[in-house]
Amino acid sequence: MNATDLGLPVDVPSTALFTDHYELTMLQAALKGGTADRRSVFEVFTRRLPEGRRYGVVAGTGRVLDAVENFRFDSGVLGFLRQRHVVDEPTLDWLASYRFSGDVWGYPEGEVYFPGSPILRVEGSFAECVLLETVILSILNHDSAIAAAASRMASAAGTRPLIEMGARRTHELAAVAASRAAYVGGFTTTSDLAAGFRYGIPTVGTSAHAFTLLHDSERDAFQAQVNTLGRGTTLLVDTYDVAEAVRSAVDIAGPELGAVRIDSGDLLLVAHRVRQQLDELGATDTKIIVTSDLDEYAIASLAAAPVDAYGVGTQLVTGSGHPTCSMVYKLVARAESADPKAPLVPVAKKSTGGKTSIGGRKWAARRLDEDGTAEAEVIGTGAVPAELADRQLLVELIKGGQVIAREPLDAVRDRHAAVRANLPMSAIQLSRGEAVIPTEYV
């Protein structure tokens, strides 16, 4: 399945410079030293979850596949590297024909992960794999952080829908990626049209306070909006006096008014008052949408309020206090020579300060209890135990340089909901805690 099959209208430009300077200088040294063609295995993992979090969410895998496929050094990129004397001419010649030809395995997008989980495994020559480190980490660290925050918010919201509306709170391109990651984590719609265009995420929106302030009266603003968008629209009722705005809204739109939005004040108290007022006015089917700097804790505090949907911005696109997952990309095995048949040798970083790594090409499986609930993340480098053979987590994403595992975003979103439901119930607690299941090495 390719991008056209998925209906994606925007091509991804070259990602070759979404990397760090030292990736290319390592390449040059390896080419000159004769080690560039050694078969190598790199793995993406995190040593710990963000403080207090009980699970992580894999997000951005689809974007990683696009990035690897479009990692190309065209004439403009090569000219920039030549002008800056980043690498020498033999290295530029090598880069001119760069195409990743290796294999990539990883946790399916939407899966959960834990400390040590081999979230992504990249295999090929050292030269072709080392160049991908930065772009892979930048995508996975950002998107997984947003998806984890979104997942916690979705758990707190229960069956109530969540609207992603954080585009104005982050970089314009990060906003599109954030919308995608939020959808993976459980959000239902976005306000960002670029995300809707690029990924097919449903978009929503009606009006802001500026529209009300433009008119001579709030009634005039409401009338103009209803005349244009119909009685099922959402009217923003907290520009002036909420009670008066609700009366005007129902008077103009009638009981068919779709929804009212509250964007300030004590949301719990105001929501109860507005619900009572709407019911008394006969607008019993009119929904209440709340916004205003919500996070998972604020959403949970509104569980008993007569709220029908939440709009979340700043806290979502900043990972609700954890804007990165601290994932790393480490060489865990390499061949002793460039001979394709040379055996792989485990390698690992040994250092103080908790920044060690475990060598060897790893597999991962999730052990379930008798009720089908996850009880451990099992990771190993040898043979997979028979009882875990059908519980392995890594799937092949790229084979021989060809992407083989693109999938619709809705499938990813559904996967995450199903996986989260199979975690112990304590996974959805918002109180600080350790990983909800342990990581075991065998």
Per-residue pLDDT tens for 98-132? Answer: 999 999 999 999 999 999 999 999 999 999 999 99
| Burial of 199 from C-beta contacts in 10 A (0-12 / 13-18 / 19+) | buried
Give, in order, the Cα–Cα distances in Å from 42 to each of 56, 91, 117, 355: 20, 22, 13, 16
HSE, CB side, 13 Å, CA atoms: give it for residue 425.
1
HSE, CB side, 13 Å, CA atoms: give it for residue 408.
8
Q: How far, in Å, CA of 436 to CA of 39, rounded?
A: 36
What is the DSSP secondary structure assignment for residue 262, as one 8-state letter? Answer: E
The C-alpha torsion from 138 through 141 and 147 to 149, rounded to 10°, is: -130
Tell me what pLDDT residue 12 has.
56
Handedness of CA 102, 105, 108, 113 (dihedral sign): negative
| Cα–Cα nearest to 206, from 221, 217, 184, 187 | 221
Tell me what pLDDT residue 6 has.
54
Tell me what pLDDT residue 232 has.
97
One-letter amino acid of 377 = E
Tell me what pLDDT residue 383 has.
93
One-letter amino acid of 140 = L
One-letter amino acid of 421 = A
| Cα–Cα nearest to 248, from 212, 272, 298, 287 | 212
Q: How far, in Å, CA of 272 to CA of 274, rounded?
A: 6
Q: How far, in Å, CA of 197 to CA of 176, rounded?
A: 10
Tell me what pLDDT residue 11 has.
57
- In the chain, the N- to C-terminal Cα span, in Å, equals 36
**Maximal C-alpha separation, the chain:** 80
Q: How far, in Å, CA of 216 to CA of 205, rounded?
A: 23
Going from the N-terminus, what domains does the chain have, and what CATH number goes with each? 21-131+327-437 (3.20.140.10), 147-321 (3.20.20.70)
| Cα–Cα nearest to 176, from 305, 97, 326, 66 | 66
3-state helix, strand, coil in the chain (%, to 5): 40, 15, 45
- Mark the ranges of the chain whose per-residue pLDDT is less than 50: 1-3
Residue 403 parent element (H or E): strand 402-403
Residue 157 parent element (H or E): helix 133-157
For residue 117, the tally of other CB atoms under 10 A from its CB is: 26
One-letter amino acid of 6 = L
Q: How far, in Å, CA of 61 to CA of 177, rounded?
A: 11
